[in-house]
Amino acid sequence: MLHEATRRDQIDHELLRRYHEHGDTFARDELAVRCAPLVKSLVRRYNNSGEEVDDLIQAGVVGLVKAIDRFDLRAGTRFISFAVPNITGEIRRHFRDHTWAVHVPRSLQELDAKVVGARRMIIAETGREPTDDDLAVELQVDVSEIREARAANRAYRAMSLETPTGEGRTIADTRGVHDGGYDQVDAELTLGVALEALSDRDRKVIDLRYRDGLLQREIAVQVGCSQMQVSRIISNAINTMGHHVGATEPAPLAA
């Protein structure tokens, strides 16, 4: 599975090379199709946002195409890591441009306009802020209708998704849920690249320990060395993998 992920990353890079160096638009289209599941995965975070899923997917695809056009082959970055913020940014831009207002029924809009006018008149005549009961009497409607019209007025103008909510977050950060599947894919891609730095023996030891879950003494029997040597191989392999992917403090692999 890890080697398949690494192979997919290599194919993506080759398609990007063909597009950027040779203007091969077929390569760009093929890469966009390959990355369509990533777009859908990111869109799932906003399933309960009230927006049409197809509209969000379309926005995400726009972000994906922009990422393909902007990608720098010389940067040494995996395309999937570069594409995600571009796709997410375009989805958020869609919210910003298309969800400024919440639909309010015409009857409530008309009543709200009357409430605003009545409020101004009462303030001008009495010098005080009218209560909901005062407005209901003035407009000859039930007080519950006044409260509903006031609520509709507050909902009619939506807040920007970039509005801060505290702790360095915006409203957009609170929408949807985190998709752990993408983190898993990214971790597997990183691990696949890291394993390329190991010798066949070291890679086998790592696979036996962390994929198959064997104990060090069991690995020693299969590899033909002492348990202490197995421990050193694992420690050195983890450090080598960490340096290969540019980690300053490589995290230990989970047992």
d(CA 63, CA 177): 20
Segment 93-109 shows an average pLDDT of: 65
- Of all residues in the chain, the percent with pLDDT exceeding 90 is 27
| pLDDT tens for each residue of 225-249 | 998 999 999 989 888 888 776 643 4
d(CA 142, CA 149): 11
| pLDDT tens for each residue of 191-206 | 777 788 888 889 889 8
| pLDDT tens for each residue of 55-70 | 899 999 999 999 999 9
| Domains identified in the chain and CATH numbers | 2-99+162-179 (1.10.1740.10), 106-156 (1.10.10), 197-244 (1.10.10)
pTM of the model: 0.42
Residue with tokens 């891609």: 189
Using an 8 Å Cβ cutoff, are 125 and 56 in contact? Answer: no
Report residue 43 CA to chain centroid gap. Answer: 8
The two three-digit tokens of residue 31, written as one number: 């890469």
